[in-house]
Chains A and B, each alone.
Chain A
């Protein structure tokens, strides 16, 4: 009935009884994980750079006079393997305050093939707990540069730079940091060179092989731990082999056949090496193009949204505070998040309530399909809420699923590619789920924030390619040993490349509820169900002639199967906000009345106040909104402290158990957890920006809003209430 061209992007079969057993297995793996990570980190540091920090501190601005003598010696950051300095300028002033005062730190500004780096003349003061090994707090990976502004906040675009350079350069980063440099104290020649260098390397089109990953990997004896047979199975499932898919089918008790007809990427360049064929019976289709915003809409909305957080002027910040809620509303970003979550809930409803398969499709099949299908799995399957499970999910749905990371993040600044923060949108949705159901997730908010940053670090194969085939061919071509093994690059999941073990401890959520050990009798009572969800790409590449090619296929498929459409609202994505169908609402309410099971189905509340701004990611760099001594970390540190105590007590008990029975020295103390890391520092000294910003100067002043005076416009009040006196008595009403 269907030939090989009916391509199933992926097939997920969820079979509840099995999942519970599997998750138990996953726990065992967890406990081994620490040791593995430790091993990895030792390997990683061997090939990495030395531990010397490359960051500088914000010394109190008063101590710095702009007339200060330039430093005696030029400094370099600690370069990574394969990193080459293109150009540099000394006596560059980096502003330490975001107001218009000329206060800052002098130092050297460099541009390498990996980053823009500022090396302060001052000595670094404090070791950061949460230090990224690849780049410091004054480094910006080239792919992380978002926009560059010159004097009078004029947007700099590549190509237009001639022989001029601005005296002040503002860099907005994709991780929302804002840097302001003054070039007016540097030698003209140097200033011109560094400015042009930065603009050229950050904004102008380049070829893929110019990305730092290639020279980095050629120069690192990267152990390639993920291909090492023993470790790979205990790590993130990469979904790059038939075995991985078969394993996953087994895990979910799927009734699918894994096929490898596409092992040479011949059917479609986007297709997987391993594809599963499903036995199609009852199927609903859902065309996301009809109901969700396009990738362009997503970009547009996000561009508006991010502006609220790229703050280079305190006065402006407080001015914008007045209209904060309506601005947030108008940019539509939260609404897009809500729509994606809602769509996922609808799919879950079909799977759960109606036992039907759902076929999600869109033109391209690798943007919103990835968002929705991964969200669905996150809601249904507790395995994906563990750290390794989540990484496997991203690997399966996004990397193997052919999300065009390279084009969507537009590392190469090519004009014909559609840039769009689709993956970030997914992480935003995950964050919402995590906020609403904290204990259900093994990973922390910090983990998600770091993951969202890592997309812009051009080192990891995870985010550098458009699909598996693309990756394989490029890594093979770039390999120094042609004909032999392809170039070995780290994936983002090898967190030891970026963070040491201690920092990685912050990736886990101390409040995660481990799956309680159930007796088997309970498990057997589950009714076996066939819950399937599949999605297929409806076109290969977005080239016009091929457009709609797979759409026809899908339509054909729909016709043959006689499927019903899932969409009940036919509102176009441009319309203001689709109303939640009453069915979804009822589904949520019915779920809500059941007892909460963190290892069962999770649904998000979609009502207005429930969808919120990801504070940690967006507000972390803004000094004025840092809650010193407060924020979620205050709670976290207390929880960690209690957990630490519980562990310590448990250890004591264990030890006693040993001494009492065998007189043998008890088991070794367990490795320190995130608990200890945070608890070790008094939470009073932490801020809501933890762990990204450390509050160095505790003698702080509260941020007093500057534009309070012209604040409220209480006009058009009935009876001119504002002019009336507090005392309601007759005399005051005169």
Chain B
């Protein structure tokens, strides 16, 4: 009872913004007509794949303990191996899956409350398509019944693929098509059903919800100190309902003043500390735009507050304010009461615009990218086509922004304030990327989890709205691949510094897959407040529980811990490339036969084996030399411990 109640509230939160998207509906229809002009190239707008081998990447297979996955592979059944609390909702034989790489495949389709499972037994090895319903963005019936009496359905997925199925027209017109069942369970929020994460009851050795402890993380950074304190003013989310309960603010600003600053910042998102440089004490602080408005309103409290942030860093008499937006957009926000800090009002502050575009531009860019890469890459003018999506250009701007922030903090020893409009999209991208460059801790597996929990989840990146978990309203203008873009930026940095990260590419892909899968509670809801209210830690499993239960899968074998080393990636297009392993992973031709890290793993295994043998020998020799005293330079002396450069 309690459970379904909580789901209802999830749904109701959705409805508030749902009517909003009349405008975006038209933009989606544009996209569809675009597709039809390309009909010659891609016979149908919808089509897809996931060849048997790609189960490697299919999240739900990985999302389950290894043993279960193995069972699935061994069993020759047409049904999937079910997760705890997963139940079959419908099953249909003689369904055709039209794979863009293999062609039409006939098999059995199963729909559960968590996944879609298609199995074709005619092939050797059997073809399996297994995807969580959470990745489905929309389901469409394509055309009427064809001449062969078949109806076809297209599934547009959030993970850069489309699937197309066809089956015979139902003779019994009263019986529901399996796709109607599928629609019901793919969009549970819209149908008053629980999201599967609330059902899933897998037990993992570690409670992933404990990975992030705000106080512990601030303590790691050396906070509280003489300049910064942790305030409890937002304990009940009263000052700002999209902020976490623990906030770090300058020592000399009392809570009462904080509330007055909150009144001047959009959505009450006051400037708070994200990161502090261990040596220079230069800080990265984040907030939302000031409510300047057309009349150029000022707030003495806000000005004093920023001065306090600057004063907290004795090394510099300057403060940089990075406004993530293009200056035009920042100025346009004045019409709606927002705006940016004028350098007149904020003495010693320098304002820099980073020209990163808004969520709508990013959504459009990803839509174009999908057209270019899925299902097949057009052979001619691949690079020009890629450029026309602007996707990598956006990535470059975000990375360049983060680089400028990191440079000011590291090289300039200057504190920075970062904001966009609300401070939960572009701001989260910038602060978390800058922190990744500045602080090696965030480049470890657990450190990265902390970074996400902190800068994205606790500071209110609106995952529920941006992804649209379980919501059928695929045209919602609130949806945008902001987090995907961030992970892409992280991937670009890992490409440039292949030994600086403890995690591997598969770790990043897994995070993205489970952001959509709705198997774990991690990316549910929009803010810490909502998560507390929904009792997510109690009712769902954290993604980190799963990941930390099999760390070796996600570990970069070549990781070198350079601890205090700052990474400055090169943000030239020359060094940026499309993340093939994510965006084009459904194309079997683009799949490497042997993952590169496999070889590194073998190498490490060999080292371990040799080390063991040497140790054994060493023990052996020590025993011998102990019994029979040989020459002074006994062999044990020559066995120096292997020097490690790490």
What is the interface of chain A, defined by CB distance below 8 A to chain B? 317-318, 321-326, 328-330, 334, 438-439, 511, 513, 576-577, 579-580, 585, 588-589, 592, 595-596, 605, 607-610, 612-613, 615, 619, 624-632, 634-635, 637-639, 641-643, 645-646, 648-650, 652-653, 655-656, 659-660, 679, 682-684, 688, 700-705, 708-709, 711-712, 714, 717-719, 721-734
Contact = CB atoms under 8 A, between A and B. Distances in A.
A649 B644 CA distance: 12
Contacts of B500: 629-630, 634
A513 B599 CA distance: 9
B355 A711 contact: yes
A608 B379 contact: yes
Contact of A607 (B377, B575, B638): B377
B384 interface: yes
Contacts of A513: 599
Contact of B421 (A612, A641, A727): A727
Contact of A656 (B403, B587, B621): B621
B83 interface: no
B23 A684 contact: no
A334 B476 CA distance: 40
B333 A608 contact: no
Contact of A733 (B23, B329, B333, B593): B23
25 contacts: A323-B387, A325-B392, A329-B382, A334-B383, A439-B599, A607-B382, A609-B584, A610-B590, A613-B574, A624-B570, A628-B568, A629-B500, A632-B498, A642-B603, A642-B604, A642-B607, A646-B606, A646-B610, A649-B613, A649-B614, A653-B613, A704-B407, A719-B23, A725-B358, A728-B477
B588 to A, nearest CB: 7
Interface in B359-381: 359-361, 363-364, 377-381
A629 B599 contact: no
B560 A683 contact: yes
A588 B589 contact: yes
Contacts of A729: 17, 20, 478
B537 to A, nearest CB: 28
Interface stretch (B24-32, B64-72, B103-111, B202-210): B24-32
B607 A646 contact: yes
B569 A728 contact: no
Given A683-B560, A723-B329, A703 B572 contact: yes
Given A705-B400, A719-B27, A645 B607 contact: yes
B614 A653 contact: yes
A637 B620 CA distance: 33
Contacts of A329: 381-384, 387
Contacts of A704: 400, 403-404, 407
B377 A708 contact: no
Contact of B387 (A325, A619, A624, A732): A325
B84 interface: no
A725 B569 contact: no
Contact of A655 (B558, B611, B635): B635
Contacts of B199: none
A610 B587 CA distance: 13
A714 B357 contact: yes
A477 B353 CA distance: 70
A371 to B, nearest CB: 21
B166 to A, nearest CB: 24
Contact of B336 (A580, A607, A725): A725
Interface of B: 17, 19-21, 23-24, 26-27, 30, 326, 329, 332-333, 336, 353-355, 357-361, 363-364, 377-384, 386-387, 390, 392-394, 396-397, 400, 403-404, 406-407, 411, 420-422, 425-426, 465, 476-479, 496-500, 558, 560, 562, 565, 567-575, 577-578, 580, 584, 587-591, 593-594, 596, 599-600, 603-604, 606-607, 610-611, 613-614, 617, 620-621, 635, 638-639, 642-645
B617 A653 contact: yes
A648 B571 CA distance: 39
A376 B241 CA distance: 65
A649 B382 CA distance: 48
A733 B403 CA distance: 32
B573 A325 contact: yes
A722 B329 contact: yes
Given A608-B377, A625-B570, A659-B635, A718 B364 contact: yes
Contact of B638 (A655, A684, A718): A655
B21 to A, nearest CB: 7
A627 B569 contact: yes
Contact of A659 (B565, B568, B614, B621): B621
B384 A326 contact: yes
A728 B499 contact: no
Contact of B425 (A317, A653, A701, A726): A726
Contacts of A643: 603
Nearest to A659: B635
Given A649-B642, A650-B610, A321 B603 contact: no
Nearest to B327: A709
A726 B603 contact: no
A712 B397 contact: yes
Contact of B499 (A638, A650, A725, A726): A638
Contact of B645 (A624, A634, A679, A722): A679
Nearest to B19: A730
A438 B600 CA distance: 12
Contact of B596 (A438, A626, A645, A728): A438
**6 residue pairs, one from A and one from B, having the closest CB atoms:** A608-B382, A728-B477, A702-B568, A728-B478, A649-B610, A721-B360
B440 to A, nearest CB: 11
A325 B357 contact: no
A705 B397 CA distance: 9
Contacts of A323: 387
Contact of B565 (A324, A328, A660, A684): A684
Nearest to A727: B422
Contacts of A700: 568
A723 B569 CA distance: 30
Contacts of B476: 728
B588 A579 contact: no
A634 B560 CA distance: 9
B358 A726 contact: yes
A721 B359 CA distance: 9
Contacts of B329: 722-723
B607 A682 contact: no
A609 B590 contact: yes
Given A589-B588, A641-B645, A733-B23, A656 B635 contact: yes
Given A596-B593, A702-B568, A726-B422, 8 more contacts: A322-B573, A592-B589, A613-B574, A631-B496, A659-B635, A723-B332, A728-B21, A728-B359
Nearest to A682: B645
B642 A721 contact: no
A626 B570 contact: yes
B426 to A, nearest CB: 8
A564 to B, nearest CB: 25
Contacts of A731: 336
B403 A702 contact: yes
Nearest to A634: B499
A656 B20 CA distance: 76
Contacts of A711: 355, 393, 397
Contact of A639 (B355, B377, B404, B603): B603
A33 to B, nearest CB: 23
Nearest to A580: B379
Nearest to A592: B593
B42 to A, nearest CB: 16
A701 B410 CA distance: 10
A433 to B, nearest CB: 14
A212 B591 CA distance: 49
A605 B573 CA distance: 23
Interface centre among B353, B577, B614 (most CB of A within 10 A): B614
B425 to A, nearest CB: 6
A727 to B, nearest CB: 6
B465 A589 contact: no
B569 to A, nearest CB: 7
